[in-house]
Chains A and B, each alone.
Chain A
């Protein structure tokens, strides 16, 4: 099991291989559809420092506002990543992102982007929103809350031992491709084709 402290450097990321479990600690930022669309629309100076060397978490959390004005994550599992497929590689390249966390994996454009920019795709266990919310120890700040709404806003969070699996690495390997190919062969056999 790999331990990853964020932000991290290129060598650390290149050492990760498909199928390996990785525990993340440090600062990351959430972002999904609205955020990715916005990130490719220009260079967003205000969030850039939070993206460089860190990871984007594809997550639309349930968030509670505390009486003192701070926020806490109530439920925070990954959302489907393929929706960001058109933008992901560009976001990674432009902001120096080292990885994305999501579920379901991503496609060829992102796979190439991960290789080109030395980044990884990390899969969290979908639906385990309670366990994952507990790994979020602090909500530091939030961008675009008003405009995007709670699930789509970009939340800067600090995590401790956040559990993931490397399913696409910086060397072009993808567990999703392997499984899709293997299950295709079984399907063809079951269908007698």
Chain B
């Protein structure tokens, strides 16, 4: 596949998969949460509504949420493919998907306040291409909604109000604070993508990158794995529940990565993702065969 048109078509398919189909690990996590909520509670009602909606979206191949978010693409490709071509194909795919109502007209000119009407604008979609040594191309997409983006947050440690020093315990304290601050506003139950370190820009980017991990994976770094598990457990003790209605299912997962940092800075960046965790991955072989790993 070398033609921009072929790539555009494939990218529209990736968008269609992400917007309509909730990954099975996410559905499983929601079901697990549902089984722990009291019968007749608002939490149970909300999780049932979420599961029913996921089924409808999937069978209708329609957007599960009307806020189809900022499309964030990560593409790993061989040297033989042009980055510029791929970047253009991503933007064109977003415009086509918008015309097909797979995405909402979701891009606004910040100065004029006018909707561009075609889903794209400078910075939207957000595309990150990286060359690698393999022959195949891997396309990953996250549709990152606005409501949950608005409750994403960044802490600069130390934070004396929260008693947070520059260590994992400090990170734990600010992450729990972030979940409390978010309450139900990010369409919880949410998934936390976290980056320790980096600068204010790279930190958020890595935090979002963490959101591409499967919920049932295991962090290869033992101390981060332990922190993820502990935070999952503790966040779910807060009683915020789905939509902030109260209940045991406040987060579906916590995923933590690290970047190097300057001696002067210690950022904890927290990307909150709503339950509508719309991620999709496609791998295109050198011959052009497409597979869809989950």
User: Which A residues lie at the B interface, using CB under 8 A?
Assistant: 19, 21, 34, 59-62, 64, 74-77, 79-80, 82, 103-105, 123, 125-131, 133-134, 148-152, 163, 165, 167, 175-176, 178-180, 182-184, 186-187, 190-191, 193
Q: How far is the CA of A34 from the CA of B162 in the complex (A)?
A: 37
A182 B239 Cβ-Cβ under 8 A: yes
Could you name 19 residue pairs across A and B whose Cβ atoms are closer than 8 Å? A75-B63, A75-B66, A82-B185, A105-B185, A128-B52, A129-B53, A129-B65, A131-B53, A151-B104, A151-B105, A165-B245, A175-B246, A179-B240, A183-B183, A183-B240, A186-B238, A187-B180, A190-B237, A191-B173
18 extra interface residue pairs, beta carbon distance < 8 Å, beyond A165-B45, A182-B246, A191-B173: A21-B42, A77-B65, A82-B185, A103-B187, A105-B183, A105-B184, A126-B147, A127-B275, A128-B50, A128-B52, A128-B53, A130-B56, A130-B57, A148-B115, A178-B246, A179-B240, A183-B238, A191-B176
Q: How far is the CA of A151 from the CA of B183 in the complex (A)?
A: 25
B64 A129 Cβ-Cβ under 8 A: yes
Interface residue B225 (Cβ < 8 Å from any Cβ of A):
no
B245 A62 Cβ-Cβ under 8 A: no
Q: Which residue of A lies closest to B63 (CB)?
A: A75
Q: Which residue of A lies closest to B57 (CB)?
A: A130
Interface residue B117 (Cβ < 8 Å from any Cβ of A):
yes
A60 B66 Cβ-Cβ under 8 A: yes
A191 B162 Cβ-Cβ under 8 A: yes
Q: How far is the CA of A190 from the CA of B274 in the complex (A)?
A: 24
A127 B56 Cβ-Cβ under 8 A: no
Q: Which residue of B lies closest to A191 (CB)?
A: B173
Q: Which residue of A lies closest to B20 (CB)?
A: A130
Q: Which residue of B lies closest to A20 (CB)?
A: B42
A191: chain B residues at CB < 8 Å are 162-163, 173, 176-177
Interface residue B114 (Cβ < 8 Å from any Cβ of A):
yes
Interface size class of B (residues with CB under 8 A): 35 or more
Q: Which residue of B lies closest to A73 (CB)?
A: B66
Q: How far is the CA of A79 from the CA of B150 in the complex (A)?
A: 12
A-contacting residues, B179-204, CB 8 Å: 180, 183-185, 187
Produce 1/0 per residue, B38-81, CB < 8 A to A.
00001001100110110011001011111110000000000000
B180 A130 Cβ-Cβ under 8 A: no
B239 A105 Cβ-Cβ under 8 A: no
Q: How far is the CA of A130 from the CA of B173 in the complex (A)?
A: 37
B238 A187 Cβ-Cβ under 8 A: yes
Also in contact, A103 and B245, with CB within 8 A (given A59-B66, A60-B104, A149-B114)? no
B184: chain A residues at CB < 8 Å are 103-105, 126, 176, 179
A76 B183 Cβ-Cβ under 8 A: no
A190 B65 Cβ-Cβ under 8 A: no
B50: chain A residues at CB < 8 Å are 125, 127-128
Q: Which residue of A lies closest to B53 (CB)?
A: A128
Q: How far is the CA of A51 from the CA of B60 in the complex (A)?
A: 33
Q: From residue B209, how far is it (CB to closest CB) to chain A in Å?
A: 22
A184 B180 Cβ-Cβ under 8 A: yes
Q: From residue B146, how far is it (CB to closest CB) to chain A in Å?
A: 8
Q: Which residue of B lies closest to A65 (CB)?
A: B101
A130 B45 Cβ-Cβ under 8 A: no
